[in-house]
Amino acid sequence: MTATASPTAAPAWAATDLTTLADLSPGDITALLDRATEFVPTVGEASCEHRSHLEQSLAGRIIANLFLEDSTRTRGSFTVAAQRLGGTTLDMSGKGSSISKGETLLDTGLTVAAMGVDAIVMRTSVNEAPHMLADHVDMPVINAGDGNNEHPTQGLLDALTLRQRLGSDLAGKRIAIVGDIRNSRVAGSNIRCLPTLGMDVVLVGPESMCPDEPISGSPHATGSITVAHDLDAVVAELDAIMMLRVQFERGSEIGDDYAERYGLNESRAARLPGDAPVLHPGPMNRGLEIADAVADDPKRSAIRQQVTNGVAVRMAVLERLCASPHR
Ligand code: NCD
């Protein structure tokens, strides 16, 4: 564990923002995951001694959390990540900011930038709003979820969790991402990340929730992306499964048979091979896309591990984008 040391070699990823995972090569992703792996022992409940050695690489930096949609895990873990590295955070949400008075997203972003913060972490219901802000400000912008488009740090923390469960070489491993694919930015980033690491991704859900093939992931992909509608036909051939929340707030609708056809209940989970892990980004609709017994299964469920990894990945991203002079 060398969380005190800076990365030995800077990753080739030359970007100053993180708005999409499509730009990252396998080496870029691996470098971020390797660095996050060094941070993992500093996160979690029994980690005080490791934390005392953390380099305060964000000392003096202010990270603005501009969260215009609700969040528990992402906002909380960006805050913990920044503060563990010695930074401070400015928390802003839609309610209580001038967005509620009709100020445009761009004006709000430019206003926060004009205060001289060192980075803006943005969550919004508007697709590509973080990309637009990044074009207008002279500081790193990190996409913390834009509409139904992408959620890059979620994709990275999912990849880290899969590496821990399946081994560091994910090439040739098969994962199903199940449920409301079309409206899920988590799926959006995972299809740009996991095939870049060589994983084969099968998207499973009702036709109304699945994108049309062929699906464009990342130009760096070596793994495949396919679509299936019958979960029972694929479940026994998976190395891992990721369940998605139905995005009711984005207008998603389900039939009465949704849980029966696409929910991960105990009997379906029992057909997963070996120790194939179950992932879910949270928040969960328990009893709909995932049964309590599966979500809380201490062996299969990786859900809490994902949360811990979320802090470690965000530490790696903040360090990479904000710890040294940029632009
Ligand atoms: C996800 C999100 O907001 O996109 N949550 C998260 O960040 N862990 C998934 C979801 O809300 O379904």
pLDDT tens digit sequence for 75-119: 999 999 999 999 999 999 888 778 878 888 999 999 999 999 999
> Whole-number mean pLDDT of the chain?
93
Ligand 1 midpoint to CA 145 (Å): 8
Ligand 1 contact, 281 CB (< 6 A): yes
Residue among 222, 23, 29, 297 at smallest CA distance from 134: 23
Ligand 1 midpoint to CA 282 (Å): 6
Ligand 1 midpoint to CA 60 (Å): 30
Q: Collapsing DSSP states into helix, strand and coil, what is residue 60?
A: coil
Ligand 1 midpoint to CA 278 (Å): 16
Task: Quote the CA–CA distance of 37 and 163 in Å, as a whole number.
Answer: 10
Supply the pTM of this predicted model.
Answer: 0.94
Ligand 1 contact, 250 CB (< 6 A): no
- Which residues of the chain register pLDDT less than 70? 1-13, 46, 324-327
- Longest pairwise C-alpha distance within the chain: 55
Q: What pLDDT score was predicted for residue 52?
A: 80
Q: What pLDDT score was predicted for residue 325?
A: 54
Residue 161 φ/ψ, nearest 5 degrees: -65, -40
Q: What pLDDT score was predicted for residue 6?
A: 44
**Residue whose entry in the numeric block shows the structure tokens 């399946």:** 166
Task: Quote the CA–CA distance of 13 and 24 in Å, as a whole number.
Answer: 7
Residue among 226, 246, 229 at smallest CA distance from 175: 226
Task: Quote the CA–CA distance of 159 and 235 in Å, as a whole number.
Answer: 20
Task: Quote the CA–CA distance of 19 and 121 in Å, as a whole number.
Answer: 10
Ligand 1 contact, 130 CB (< 6 A): no
Task: Quote the CA–CA distance of 63 and 5 in Å, as a whole number.
Answer: 22
Task: Quote the CA–CA distance of 74 and 317 in Å, as a whole number.
Answer: 13
Out of 69, 74, 248, 309, give the residue to mutate to test ligand 1, the one with the largest number of ligand atoms within 8 Å of its CB.
74
Other Cβ atoms within 10 Å of 167 Cβ, number: 10
Q: What pLDDT score was predicted for residue 324?
A: 63
Task: Quote the CA–CA distance of 207 and 226 in Å, as a whole number.
Answer: 13
Q: What pLDDT score was predicted for residue 31?
A: 97
